Chains A and B, each alone.
Chain A
């Protein structure tokens, strides 16, 4: 059996990642407030690049790193290889991310941007080494391990290509233009890192939180091979030929892989023993809907791109917003309140359970703030995404306003959990 093992060192690493990610989420919303004009133009814009990297690195990757140090050992049923390596990775990742985002924002592709890229690359390599050595401790191999380790490799390749693209601004490395490689870099990150990692971890956590009786992993195996095949085909094909008619077929393979995963989630949901679905789990399911909607925009992007119609830029922007600000954000907004309260609860109450009446993990955060956060996020999705498509500034402002409310509520609840004081309600 593997469970949340509490030691002060691991607790500090995990909590630091959650706090920094929450602060980055708030910063991200503020950055968006000052970039409304940019959302009505091309996605290859300094502020959009800065926002995307803040969302992907400061928000998404930061929290996945933190959660991974706690959950990957749970999923792989072993212990984390090294806490020291995790700290080194964090202390390289944070300044690297700040340097990169700031350099994109002011757009000076010089030494700061290059240093940021190198720091980030080193940090993700160290993270991958830590995950690999953690997994190596374990004898039995599972499909989750394949997902997680493939995701880490993709993250390394994403960072290598990203660093090369940064250097390419000043030292010509690639014969083709930046946009050609940007697609490859983005999809290595989205489908390779985020999707594979999220499937790997969630395929253990979702059935567990739902107390699902569905145990089969065949759909997950199909999902893994289809997504990885689609990714490899896309990388090779778009490298040599850019977007073309074959891209439809490749997207179909990827969508089939995703469908297998979503079917797995549906089967878990239908066979759940816990009928009442709480707000964090609803946010998780909402994230899967946003992912599916993002995938549905792909044929439009390809179609308009092949017709040389500039509408493809609108669809591409929406695709990115749906993925980073929709899917990944909704997932984190929900899963934070499934994982963080447990981590903090174990620290405060594990030694008291069975002796005294204690609060439950779900009592550690304010449900009222979570409701406002969820409402704010839904308003953001309903206003910001159409705002991007119709290039409507009032809708964009309304969306960002709602996102700011979401971020403030999220940040407040994270601090409420972290500053929780041990309390008991008498003897059992």
Chain B
């Protein structure tokens, strides 16, 4: 998960992107991908107008994986006109229970 760096002028935008990504839900769990801890990082390439999202999935066999990735891309490009989104799927570090936020745990009934 991203740390807020006040010295980085893009920090506010990054924080805003992370909030925007709360709109993307896991279709099976009905919990957003931020509270599930699936998003590992956000990088903004301002001159190239590109937003790079580094994220994972709860399972490499997730049959809805493709849908979640396309939802992330659609969500970013829909909210940040002029920017293109690039979603990079990573498997390291492996996603685990500990990635879920307190809010996510509450939503899952844990």
Residues of A within 8 A of B101 (CB): none
0/1 interface trace, chain A 352-392, chain B, CB 8 Å (1 if under): 11110000111000000000000000000000000000000
- Contact A208–B23 (Cβ < 8 Å): no
Of A204, A273, A351, A354, which is within 8 A of B61 by CB? A204
Chain B interface bracket (under 10, 10 to 19, 20 to 34, 35 or more): 35 or more
The interface stretch among B1-9, B40-48, B67-75 is B67-75
Does B66 sit at the interface, judged by CB under 8 A? yes
In the complex, the chain B residue whose C-beta lies closest to that of A74 is: B63
Residues of A within 8 A of B71 (CB): 353-354
Residues of A within 8 A of B74 (CB): 351-355
- Contact B75–A273 (Cβ < 8 Å): no
0/1 interface trace, chain B 33-53, chain A, CB 8 Å (1 if under): 000000000000000000000
The interface stretch among A2-10, A145-153, A328-336 is A2-10
Residues of B within 8 A of A71 (CB): 63
Q: How far is the CB of B57 from chain A (nearest CB, A)?
A: 7
Residues of B within 8 A of A355 (CB): 74-75, 78
Given contacts A273-B97, A353-B74, A355-B75, contact A3 B28 (CB under 8 A): no
Residues of B within 8 A of A211 (CB): 28-29, 58-59, 108
In the complex, the chain B residue whose C-beta lies closest to that of A76 is: B61
- Contact A208–B27 (Cβ < 8 Å): no
The count of residues in chain A whose C-beta lies closer than 8 Å to any C-beta of chain B is 34
Does B100 sit at the interface, judged by CB under 8 A? yes
0/1 interface trace, chain B 71-110, chain A, CB 8 Å (1 if under): 1111110110000000001000000110010000000111
Query: Which among B71, B76, B109 has the greatest number of chain A C-beta atoms within 10 A?
Result: B71
Residues of A within 8 A of B (CB): 1-5, 71, 74-75, 77, 204, 207-209, 211, 213, 273-276, 342, 345-346, 349-355, 360-362, 427-428
A-B complex: 3 closest residue pairs judged by Cβ atoms = A354-B74, A353-B71, A354-B75
Complex A-B: 12 CB contacts under 8 Å? A2-B65, A3-B65, A3-B67, A4-B63, A4-B67, A208-B59, A211-B108, A274-B29, A275-B110, A349-B67, A354-B75, A361-B28
Residues of B within 8 A of A (CB): 23-25, 27-30, 57-68, 70-76, 78-79, 89, 96-97, 100, 108-110
